[in-house]
Amino acid sequence: MRMAVHKKTAMAFKSYQNQAEVLVKNYLLADSFIPYSSVLGGMFACKLVYDLSQLASVFYFKSYAALTKVQRIEWNNRAVSTVHAIFIASLSLYFVFWSELFSDRQHTGLVTFRSSQLSTFSLGVSVGYFVADLGMIFWLYPSLGGIEYIVHHSLSAIAVAYAMFTGEGQLYTFMVLISEVTTPEINMRWYLDTAGLKRSNAYLINGVVIFFAWLVARILLFVYMFYHVYLHYHQVIQMHIIGFLFGICGAFCACYNELDLVREDCQGIEEDFGKEAVTEIIGPKCPWSKSVSSSFLHRVNWLVEEEKVKEIL
């Protein structure tokens, strides 16, 4: 009797498994449904990573409990940003430099119109992330970012979605998305700052990594991209004008985002260094120490006094 029940249960389980495989194959992974399922999957993944970050941070990071509500949300949101950056940057590197899909050795049509199920799925996940993150920005506006972040995410989502739905310019879209390799380091800088480790060696090393990553992913890579466009100009001009403009917008969005981060860093330098730190760096007997502008030192003194007042209050 028990053997019959076990056999019946196994058959029922096998039947459900077959139905699930048919559902995934004919709908979720069907060419016509991949863009939609990947976007929804990307949004669901963002929610999953957010919850896992919240759970893990409570147990493994002591500084997390001391954060404000908004800081905790940003902490978890940056975890989502980091996971997405690792995911899309890894796949972008694969498609641009190792995959045969966009290789010149392939003779299966113009390189600007090539796509695959995996490339379309990858872009869909990225669109899902941009949509989810844009929703977070609107929900907590302006705590997670101002109008510049809304414009950046909106244009990025539209440009990536266009490449996903039409299949046009996916190669150059992946080239731009490689620039996401700088995102984990930027988020790490925020984590270290929030955890009170801004004076640590880890913060310094992370800053050096950001510099070299920015140099490679935001300067050298874009030189390579424009050189590739030059070599394949006869194929690029056959793209729809909208796709071409979206590609340019995506590149400028990436550049603007990094320039804005550089501006924040420059402002942070003035706020971080007090008069004693400046003296320690340049040395009291340094021959060019007198060339430091008095206005800058006045600003440093003001910041030091302001910090003292804050500590008293």
The predicted structure's pLDDT at residue 253: 59
Residue-wise pLDDT for 208-219, tens only, equals 999 999 899 888
The predicted structure's pLDDT at residue 185: 93
Residue-wise pLDDT for 115-165, tens only, equals 999 999 999 999 999 999 999 999 999 888 888 889 888 988 998 999 999
The predicted structure's pLDDT at residue 29: 52
Q: What is the value of pTM for the model shown?
A: 0.74
In a 10 Å sphere around its CB, with 0-12 CB exposed, 13-18 middle and 19+ buried, how is residue 136 labelled?
Answer: buried
The predicted structure's pLDDT at residue 244: 64
Q: How far apart are CA 240 and CA 243, in angstroms?
A: 5
The predicted structure's pLDDT at residue 69: 92
Per-residue pLDDT of the chain (313 residues; tens, 9 = 90+): 555 555 666 565 555 455 544 444 444 455 668 999 999 999 999 999 999 999 999 999 888 989 999 999 999 999 999 999 999 999 999 999 999 999 888 767 889 899 999 999 999 999 999 999 999 999 999 888 888 889 888 988 998 999 999 999 899 999 999 999 999 999 999 999 998 888 899 999 999 999 999 899 888 998 999 899 899 889 888 887 776 666 666 555 555 555 555 555 544 444 444 444 444 444 444 444 444 444 444 444 544 454 444 444 4
The predicted structure's pLDDT at residue 104: 84
The predicted structure's pLDDT at residue 254: 55
